[in-house]
Amino acid sequence: MKLDIIIDKLTPCLEEVSTGKILQTTFSIATDRDVSDLVKKGWLFDWTDASLEKANIYKLLVKGEATIQGLVAAEVVKGAVYVHTDSIAHT
């Protein structure tokens, strides 16, 4: 899968666009319900794909809030952390 993105700047984590303020964040394991709710909301990745069966899916939140800001799937493979970038996006 080829990514076609532009990164205009790097931030420590999440930045509030309207103010430029860097927001404190937390992360934890995403539940099956978290993932299915995101599919219903139109998120473009299939976090239930079989290729992620052994991966842990982590959710990123603004500290003190419940809205998921991002997800990442990672697993340990041969002693290293592998972050999944497989072609699991839907168009």
Inside any domain, residue 91: no
Compare 38 and 6 and report the one with higher pLDDT: 38
Report d(CA 52, CA 10) in Å as an integer.
Answer: 27
Inside any domain, residue 40: yes
Gap between the terminal Cα atoms of the chain: 13
Inside any domain, residue 2: no
Compare 32 and 10 and report the one with higher pLDDT: 32
Report d(CA 30, CA 61) in Å as an integer.
Answer: 11
Number of domains in the chain: 1
Inside any domain, residue 38: yes
| pLDDT tens digit sequence for 36-50 | 888 788 888 888 888
- Do you know the residue count of the chain? 91
C-alpha 43: how far from its chain's center? Answer: 10
Percent residues over pLDDT 70 in the chain: 80
Inside any domain, residue 52: yes
Inside any domain, residue 36: yes
Inside any domain, residue 9: no
